[in-house]
Amino acid sequence: MPVRGIAAALCALLLISARPSPGRAQGMPVHMPTALPLPLTESGVRLLYQHFEMGSLLRNGRVVGNADGLRVGVDALALMVPYGVTPQTILMAGIPYVRKTVEGSGSRRTNAGLGDAFLLVKQELSARDFVAGNRRLALFAGLGLPTGETEADGDLLPVPLRLGGGTVDLTGQLVYSYVNDRTGVHGAAAYATATSAVGEVRVGDRFRYDLAFGYRIFPSVYRSLRDLSLAVYLELNGTVEAVATQRHQTLPDSGGHTVMLSPGLQLLPLPNWAIDASLQLPLLRDLHGTQLGQDWSIAVGVRTVFFPFGP
């Protein structure tokens, strides 16, 4: 999984607010954004750890023998900070610390350091609150900055060892959320593109789509904002990536369509704290040519919102 894919996933995870309220305390998805609002007077912090494991060699989407024992493992710890500018607008910034391990043919190489930083803005487009549920539509726009290492001693690193994409990435995303007491549905569609090439190679544009279903296990009815809350989630996270090009010629071993199934849990012990965890497993790995496919990933995160004037 390229680092730019990790950065995109971390960007999506940043777009999650962290304060429950009586009408919207069903919770927030783990791997995708929510359109639910973050109040103006709050600023928060989120730490998210993810581990990605890639060890299946695929040829045109089918698993083949991996005689060289190729494997890529990625650990990423992201720091993310959202800030409410107005009741409808939120600015967000973040950066991951990334460690990558590449194995194959009896050798093992590692690289670690800061990955690509990102800046995002969320703009609420529509808000409708009813006794039967709350609906939100929001637009997200942002960019990824080439802060991650791509070279060593003046030479480009192999793609699996690069800590960043090496280009400025532009992203736009439309998100819809509907929450009715204990249940919630969230949907999102995003498009991302790199603004330049790295070493004459330009990665393909990426389309991402997400669908999440959530259910609050307890409490069945909120008595106060301080009630302990636990929710379960089932997410479908899909990415379609176009083939990369080199000097305007397509690279056959690049791009494809992946779909991950992501069950998760989220605990809200206090109004301003959330703890979540999720496991991702592949449903579809229709990759072009010969590529390593993602076998699984785990995510564990904690977030908090500070209330300047009290919860």
* DSSP letter for each residue of 134-172: EEEEEEEEEEE---S--EETTEEPPGGG-SS-SS-EEEE
Beta carbons within 10 angstroms of residue 294's beta carbon: 21
Residue 306's pLDDT band, with cuts at 50, 70 and 90, is low
Residue 202's pLDDT band, with cuts at 50, 70 and 90, is very high
* Predicted local distance difference test score (pLDDT) of residue 3: 46
> CB-based contacts of 20: which residues, under 8 Å, 6+ apart?
27, 225, 229, 268, 271
Pick the closest to residue 282 from 233, 220, 239, 230 (CA basis). Answer: 239
Pick the closest to residue 120 from 87, 145, 149, 86 (CA basis). Answer: 145
The mean pLDDT value for 253-261 works out to 97
Q: Distances in Å between the alpha carbon of 282 and those of 61, 205, 304?
A: 12, 21, 30
Residue 204's pLDDT band, with cuts at 50, 70 and 90, is very high
How far is it, in rounded angstroms, from Cα 111 to Cα 286? 28
pLDDT of 85 strictly over 50? yes
DSSP H helices, the chain, are: 3-14
As a CATH number, domain 3-306 is 2.40.160.40
* Predicted local distance difference test score (pLDDT) of residue 256: 97
The mean pLDDT value for 239-257 works out to 94
* Predicted local distance difference test score (pLDDT) of residue 147: 96
Question: Which pLDDT tens digit goes with each residue over 272-296?
Answer: 788 999 999 999 999 999 999 999 9
How far is it, in rounded angstroms, from Cα 21 to Cα 133? 13
* Predicted local distance difference test score (pLDDT) of residue 44: 78
pLDDT of 108 strictly over 50? yes
* Predicted local distance difference test score (pLDDT) of residue 37: 72
State the residue for tokens 């071993």.
253
The mean pLDDT value for 30-47 works out to 72
Residue 189's pLDDT band, with cuts at 50, 70 and 90, is very high
The dihedral over CA atoms of 303, 307, 308, 311, expressed in degrees to the nearest 10, equals -170
* Predicted local distance difference test score (pLDDT) of residue 132: 62
Domain limits, the chain:
3-306
DSSP for 226-256? T--EEEEEEEEEEEEEPPPEETTEE-SSS-E
pLDDT > 90 fraction of the chain, expressed in percent and rounded: 65
Q: Any idea which of 11-15, 54-58, 200-204, 271-275 has the lowest mean pLDDT?
A: 11-15
pLDDT of 127 strictly over 80? yes
Q: Any idea which of 86-90, 104-108, 270-274, 279-283 has the lowest mean pLDDT?
A: 270-274
pLDDT of 308 strictly over 60? no
Phi, psi of 120 (to 5 degrees): -140, 155
How far is it, in rounded angstroms, from Cα 273 to Cα 234? 21
Phi and psi based region of residue 301 (left: phi greater than 0; alpha: psi -120 to 50; beta: remaining): beta
How far is it, in rounded angstroms, from Cα 276 to Cα 302? 6
pLDDT > 70 fraction of the chain, expressed in percent and rounded: 86
Answer yes or no: are the C-beta atoms of 57 and 65 closer than 8 Å.
yes
* Predicted local distance difference test score (pLDDT) of residue 231: 92
The mean pLDDT value for 235-259 works out to 95
Say if strands 229-241 and 206-218 run parallel, antiparallel, or are unpaired: antiparallel
* Predicted local distance difference test score (pLDDT) of residue 26: 60
Residue 87's pLDDT band, with cuts at 50, 70 and 90, is confident
Answer yes or no: are the C-beta atoms of 56 and 293 closer than 8 Å.
yes
Q: What is the pTM assigned to this prediction?
A: 0.87
Phi, psi of 251 (to 5 degrees): -100, 115
> CB-based contacts of 249: which residues, under 8 Å, 6+ apart?
none
Pick the closest to residue 163 from 227, 233, 111 (CA basis). Answer: 111
311 or 237: which carries more pLDDT confidence?
237
